[in-house]
């Protein structure tokens, strides 16, 4: 198993991952300012349900007016406005399209700059379970022994059931040196390590031991989906300022060959340059015979950074294409300056997502790398940030992306060329790294 302190990536919201807003549904109060507030917040070109231009909310206005005249107590109009917007967004049944109120948007912007105050972990909603994707090296979560794959059952004693991802995340974050209690469930390990003879870049259809769910998207957590046989632990963590890392490298040897193992954690602004610098050092200074690029638990990030990362290894041609109803098809080509001669092996797992899958898919389609590990998460959608007049923002899914060969990996993931599962019961051995080293050294990975 790899060291539990392996630093993963920022997966939250626009970098990654996926913040899910609850269905506002039943409005619990009314105020004459709500309707005007709602209209002022939304973009001027917003189209109502009737298909007419502008904010056509006549039915909503009617309901709000009746509630205003009959509801038994006064409710803060700001809450009503937020719930109304949340309800509209949740109606899309897309966990990646969300509304940020001004406070949430400010927190999101802070995270994208590379630091925030919390316990140092990233999460996704997977199978209606708030699942930890990764922990940052040296963070409170990491030092306490929190693992990728752990499920958050409660925060400060309050169940996550019925809550969306954004609500759970907001409760975990807080002021530095304050404390938070997390109740986590660790599913049992049931994986095995195998190898296959499928060549890099082939259209393999056999699934690895872990696959991404294809069930309908949902918005809130439901712990009734927990796999049986796991263990529940409560952690009391002290929040700290978390600096989000980009890369971590080490030199390995297999036989007479020298190998660079480069872990890549975030597709944030400038991260591709940081990775290029690591690859340049490995190839030009250290004279390695191969590179292992570890994208496990990398939840993604910025599209342009994904293109630049793939371009470190692919000299020319398409890296990814995007298209949507309001987004004409666009092809993103390699930007040049690639290292084409050094053999490349990419490690993946069920939390390799989004921008990481763009890179993995391009390298596999181009036959530039051998993918080793488990089937990836399956997030094949692109989001854009639309700032709003109230200081908040909409994060909107605007397009689907396709690999160079036209593969749509959304809710499917990318199947590796060689399947390998890191066994948590072998803390001093990383089976995925060993599988890659076996390929580099000319031997098969252990079964």
* pLDDT above 80 (res 101): yes
Q: How confident is the model at residue 193 (pLDDT cuts 50, 70, 90)?
A: very low
CA distance 121 to 319: 29
* pLDDT higher than threshold 90 for residue 108: no
Least trusted range by pLDDT, from 39-53, 199-213, 300-314: 199-213
User: Which segments of the chain belong to CATH 2.30.42.10?
Assistant: 116-191+210-242
Q: Is the pLDDT of residue 446 over 90?
A: no
Cβ-contact 304, 48 below 8 angstroms: no
pLDDT band at 7; cut points 50, 70, 90: very low
CB 359 within 8 A of CB 276: no
**Does position 114 have pLDDT exceeding 90, yes or no?**
no
**Which tops the pLDDT comparison, 401 or 103?**
401
Q: Where in the chain is the domain with CATH 3.90.226.10?
A: 245-381+399-441
In this predicted structure, the answer to whether residue 20 has a pLDDT above a threshold of 50 is no
* Residue numbers annotated as active site: 354, 365, 379
pLDDT at 88 over 70: yes
Higher pLDDT: 29 or 81? It is: 81
| CATH ID of 116-191+210-242, from 3.30.950.10, 2.60.120.10, 2.40.50.100, 2.30.42.10 | 2.30.42.10
Q: What is the mean pLDDT of the chain?
A: 80
> Could you tell me the pLDDT band of residue 79, with boundaries at 50, 70 and 90?
confident
Which residues have CB under 8 Å from 438's CB, separation 6+?
195, 254, 444, 445, 446
Residues near 58 by beta carbon (within 8 Å), at least 6 away in sequence: none
Average pLDDT over residues 334-357: 96
Residue 299 has pLDDT above 90, yes or no: no
pLDDT at position 104 is: 81
The pLDDT confidence band at residue 113, using thresholds 50, 70 and 90, is: low
Q: Coil, strand, or helix at residue 227?
A: coil
CATH code that applies to domain 245-381+399-441: 3.90.226.10
Question: Measured between alpha carbons, how far is 433 from 2 in angstroms, rounded to an integer?
Answer: 8
Q: How many CA atoms lie within 13 A of 272 on its CB side?
A: 23
Report which secondary-structure segment, H or E, holds 373.
strand 369-373
Mean pLDDT of 13-24: 28
Cβ neighbour number for residue 299 with a 10 Å cutoff? 30
**Separation between Cα atoms, residue 25 and residue 419, nearest integer Å:** 43
* pLDDT at residue 217 in the model: 36
Residue 321: pLDDT band with limits 50, 70, 90:
very high
58 vs 14, residue with greater confidence = 58
What are the residues whose beta carbons fall under 8 Å from the beta carbon of 109, sequence distance 6 or more? Answer: none
Q: What is the mean pLDDT of residues 437-447?
A: 74
d(CA 359, CA 338): 14
Q: How far apart are CA 417 and CA 394, in angstroms?
A: 37
Taking residues 104-109, report their average pLDDT. 79
Q: What DSSP string describes 89-104?
A: HHTT--TT-EEE-HHH
Determine the Cα–Cα distance for residues 421 and 195; give it in Å rounded to an integer.
10
Asked whether the predicted pLDDT for residue 288 surpasses 70, the reply is yes
Lowest mean pLDDT among 161-175, 271-285, 398-412: 161-175
For the whole model, what pTM was predicted?
Answer: 0.72
Half-sphere exposure of 400 (CA within 13 A, CB side): 11
Residues 28-66 have pLDDT tens digits of 222 334 445 555 555 444 444 444 444 456 777 787 777
Percent of the chain with pLDDT over 90: 51
- Label residue 18 exposed, middle or buried (CB < 10 Å: 0-12, 13-18, 19+): buried
Q: Across residues 217-238, what is the average pLDDT?
A: 86
Which range has the worst mean pLDDT, 106-110, 245-249, 419-423?
106-110
Q: Is the pLDDT of residue 216 over 50?
A: no
User: Per-residue pLDDT averaged across 233-257, rounded?
Assistant: 93
Report CA torsion sign: 154, 139, 95, 203: negative
């Amino acid at each position: 198993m790899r060291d539990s302190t392996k630093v993963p990536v920022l997966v939250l919201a626009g970098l990654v991952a996926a913040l899910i807003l609850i269905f506002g549904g039943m409005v619990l109060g009314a105020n004459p300012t709500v309707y005007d507030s709602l209209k002022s917040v939304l973009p001027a070109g917003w189209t109502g349900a009737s298909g007419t231009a502008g904010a056509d909310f006549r039915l909503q206005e009617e309901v709000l007016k009746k509630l205003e005249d009959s509801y038994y107590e006064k409710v803060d109009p700001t809450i009503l406005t937020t719930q109304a917007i949340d309800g509209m967004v949740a109606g899309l049944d897309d966990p990646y399209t969300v509304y940020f109120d001004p406070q949430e948007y400010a927190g999101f912007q802070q995270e994208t700059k590379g630091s925030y105050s919390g316990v140092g972990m990233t999460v996704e909603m997977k199978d209606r379970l708030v699942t930890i994707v990764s922990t940052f090296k040296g963070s409170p979560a990491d030092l306490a022994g929190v693992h990728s794959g752990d499920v958050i059952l409660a925060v400060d004693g309050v169940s996550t059931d019925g809550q969306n991802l954004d609500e759970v995340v907001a409760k975990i974050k807080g002021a530095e040196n304050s404390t938070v209690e997390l109740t986590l469930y660790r599913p049992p390990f049931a994986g095995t390590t195998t190898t296959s003879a499928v060549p890099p870049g082939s259209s393999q259809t056999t699934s690895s031991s872990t696959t991404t769910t294809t069930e309908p998207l949902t918005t809130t957590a439901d712990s009734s989906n927990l796999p049986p046989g796991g263990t529940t632990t409560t952690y009391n963590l002290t929040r700290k300022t978390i600096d989000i890392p980009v890369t971590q490298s080490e030199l390995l040897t297999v036989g007479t060959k020298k190998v660079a193992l480069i872990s890549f954690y975030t597709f944030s602004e400038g991260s591709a340059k940081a990775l290029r610098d690591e690859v340049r050092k490995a190839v030009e200074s250290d004279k390695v015979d191969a590179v292992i690029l570890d994208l496990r638990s990398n939840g993604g990030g910025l599209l342009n950074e994904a293109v630049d990362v793939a371009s470190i290894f692919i000299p020319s041609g398409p890296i990814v294409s995007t298209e949507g109803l309001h987004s004409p098809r666009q092809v993103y080509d390699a930007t040049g300056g690639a290292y084409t001669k050094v053999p490349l092996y990419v490690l993946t797992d069920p939390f390799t997502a989004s921008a990481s899958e763009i890179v993995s898919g391009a390298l596999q389609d181009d036959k530039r790398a051998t993918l080793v590990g488990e089937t990836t998460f399956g997030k094949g959608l692109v989001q854009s940030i639309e700032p709003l007049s109230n200081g908040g923002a909409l994060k909107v899914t605007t397009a689907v992306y396709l690999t160079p060969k036209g593969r749509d990996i959304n809710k499917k993931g990318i199947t590796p060329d060689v399947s390998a599962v890191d066994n948590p019961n072998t803390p001093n051995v990383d089976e995925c790294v060993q599988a890659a080293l076996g390929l580099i050294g000319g031997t098969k990975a252990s079964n």
